[in-house]
Amino acid sequence: MAQVSHSHPTACLALADGTVFFGHGFGATGQTVAELCFNTAMTGYQEIMTDPSYAGQIVTFTFPHIGNTGVNAEDDETAAPVSEGMVVKWDPTTPSNWRATEALSNWLAARGRIAIGGVDTRRLTRAIRQQGAPHAAIAHNPDGVFDTDALVAAARDFPGLEGMDLAKSVTCAQSYSWDEMRWAWPEGYEKQTEAKYKVVAVDYGAKRNILRCLASVGCDITVVPATATAEDILAHKPDGVFLSNGPGDPAATGTYAVPMIQEILTQTNLPIFGICLGHQMLALALGGKTIKMNHGHHGANHPVKDIDTGKVEITSMNHGFAVDAQTLPAGVRQTHISLFDGSNCGIAMEGRPVYSVQHHPEASPGPQDSFYLFEKFALSMAAR
């Protein structure tokens, strides 16, 4: 096996097709393997790295200046980074932002996440778009010595996300309550003290800002693990059920999530609202199917059309699987579509307050065009 030594490069990114990129390592040292995707957002790298939906993925950031605003504890979407690694064009500079409490490189190192800078991310992104999301190995060694053959072999041995249930690896261990609302100047995060609706949120990898949005529209939230049964959920006597975002293959997670959702649909007339993986779980429970996308949707500038109103919303997205609209049964209609590729972005059950969207209306990071969906959920519970 080839032992390649470079005096300057300290990190290496190897793709399963044999392509190798060298760059400058930062964050943790070591090696990891995952699926490689790209994200087009210009802000929110900390929220992206801590989004549980990125489990099993290395993120290539197309915006070149990553790390310039540092990191802070308030912007974490979960307790620690979930994305396996980071690929950027320029090495992070010293942070310059009044909210920053730590540099990105130190933050990644303390949390065991590898990053590589100095990569031609435009070339890498074009390859992902043309060939699909590749399997990749990323390594950081300050000595600059890499076994490239072994890295390529590790990338080829990665099993891929199809058939992989990752929700169990990122869900909460036990139920808990949530009452924190969205960040607002100058108070920051305030507590919900006048909740009107009891909501059970099923955690397939829930982002904190989604829970904050629910609290901000008057919800008293109990978060339950992904494996919670219908009996567990209904024991809380909820006014509505929320299905969260999350990672992995929806068909794999659906082996236990779908029967639970179907039981709630059969036994109750409760409002149900799903986002991202929760959207895909609802579609499967209603009889639809999901498919693996070529390179997925990852960014904060995705145009989505609301079919009912004709309105176009600019949305935040993060998904590598999609609902196949052609498989939706009678009584389930498509409500939103992507204006990039026409893929499904929303469904609703005819005559019942049951609906979901593929995009992330919590806007963390991203635009707030779709926040009205949380208000719609609250109105559905108020109408019971």
So which residues are the catalytic ones? 276, 360, 362
Q: At 214, phi and psi to the nearest 5?
A: -65, -45
Q: At 205, phi and psi to the nearest 5?
A: 135, 45
> What is the number of other CB atoms lying within 10 angstroms of the CB of residue 31?
18
Strands, E assignment, 80-218: 85-87, 114-117, 135-140, 145-146, 176-178, 180-184, 188-191, 197-203
> What is the number of other CB atoms lying within 10 angstroms of the CB of residue 186?
4
Cis, peptide link before residue 186, omega less than 30° from 0: yes
Strands, E assignment, 257-343: 272-275, 289-306, 312-324, 332-338
Nearest Cα neighbor of 44 from 68, 15, 20, 28 is: 68
Query: What is the enclosing helix (H) or strand (E) of 3?
Result: none
Query: Cα(280)–Cα(291) distance, rounded to whole angstroms?
Result: 10
Tokens standing for 211? Answer: 């829970």
Question: What DSSP state is assigned to residue 248?
Answer: S
Nearest Cα neighbor of 2 from 26, 25, 18, 16 is: 18
Nearest Cα neighbor of 11 from 144, 101, 181, 171 is: 144
Question: What DSSP state is assigned to residue 81?
Answer: -
Tokens standing for 154? Answer: 């590790």
> What is the number of other CB atoms lying within 10 angstroms of the CB of residue 187?
8
Q: At 170, phi and psi to the nearest 5?
A: -120, -5
